[in-house]
Chain A
Amino acid sequence: MALNPQYEDIGKGFVQQYYATFDDPNLRANVANFYSATESFMSFEGVQLQGAPKIMEKLSSLSFQKISRVITAVDSQPMFDGGVLINVLGRLKCDEDPPHAFSQVFVLRPLGGTFFCAHDIFRLNIHDTA
């Protein structure tokens, strides 16, 4: 498969849509539609998960009600299988907590004219020294 020349738009469009879904408590369950039931991997703060059901179990265990984000940068690259590699740098704020920086990496894999999220790595950007 060839490189997808639209990688930049695909990356930005996905990120916008993903967080709009995730950050709305009424829509959060629909995040499952971005993942494959068996062929999606997630690393959430070092916890490794496979498949939409496990991923959703993890995401729905998070204890905040409200979450809002400010996205600083979305960097995308085309992949040789037609997929798109995306890195997000941003800050998030849960309920009344102070804001935390985070980074998240996605790999979108093409699937019959559309994409699914095959890889997802999430970390808060906090360190062990000040």
Chain B
Amino acid sequence: MAMANIDYDFLMKFLALGDSGVGKTSFLYQYTDGQFHSQFISTVGIDFREKRLIYTYRGRNHRIHLQLWDTAGQERFRSLTTAFYRDAMGFLLIFDLTNEKSFLEISNWLEQLRMHAYSEDPDVVLCGNKCDLEAVRAVSHEQVRALSDRYSLPYIETSACTGFNIRQAVEMLVERVMLRMENVATNSELSRLMTQTRCMPNINLPSSGGNTVRLGYRDMELTEEQQRSRNCKC
């Protein structure tokens, strides 16, 4: 087996969802600093990019290989393959703050998620994108709060254009999935997914190079330099 290729502790697959035009591709592009190795799988119509992270928790470093899946425009035709939802461990549910319709569609996307995802209650971070366009904002804070309360979704406003909160949004989702994994004994479905994907690097991973990013969720207030020294084992 190709097990020797796995030099990470967890493979996490996240899916960016939302109406066409809300900025999903730009969001993922911004997150990967425009340096992604985009790989398009034409049979399922899925585009994905990858990034390495170090997640620090209770003094231990976990190497995370993050796969970010993009719908590659198939949502324009209202035809999302279920392959999309099935293997994803977390969802970035994105709407456009300047487009009310994209916000109203969020309930429908959640419905789809509940139907097709590995769990009826998967980890989701709701992102209001294009927050740099305050002058043409069409969705009020109250509207969003009512929705995020109703579905108990964490909410963050982002701008794929300026990069504002993009990294924070992804990190919120990483953290939620990691927290869920701690209770993995009580969550057999996620456990099955994690085991399956760790044994199945079914897609050729590009060599990761030097673009690993260090994260420390309990150390959010520290600078990257300080994080590095704290994470250092020596």
Contacts and interface: CB of A to CB of B under 8 A. Distances in A.
Nearest to A101: B42
A99 B47 CA distance: 11
Interface stretch (A23-31, A48-56, A122-130): A122-130
B76 A128 contact: no
B79 A128 contact: no
Interface stretch (A13-21, A90-98, A105-113): A90-98
A94 B76 CA distance: 9
Main SS of the interface on chain B? loop
A2 interface: no
A9 interface: no
A62 B76 contact: yes
Interface string B53-79: 000000000000000000011101111
A98 B44 contact: no
B82 interface: yes
Nearest to B79: A45
Contacts of B44: 126-130
Contacts of B40: 98
Nearest to A94: B73
Given A94-B73, A98-B72, A100-B72, A128 B83 contact: yes
B20 interface: yes
Interface string A63-76: 11000000000000
B73 A130 contact: no
B41 A130 contact: yes
A130 B83 contact: yes
Question: Which 9 A-B pairs rank lowest in CB-CB distance, beginning with the nearest?
Answer: A97-B73, A126-B45, A45-B79, A63-B20, A98-B40, A128-B83, A126-B81, A128-B82, A98-B72
16 contacts: A44-B77, A45-B77, A62-B76, A63-B19, A64-B73, A98-B47, A100-B42, A100-B74, A101-B42, A124-B45, A124-B77, A126-B45, A126-B79, A127-B81, A128-B81, A130-B41
Interface of A: 44-47, 62-64, 94-101, 123-124, 126-130
Interface of B: 19-21, 25, 40-47, 72-74, 76-79, 81-83, 86, 202
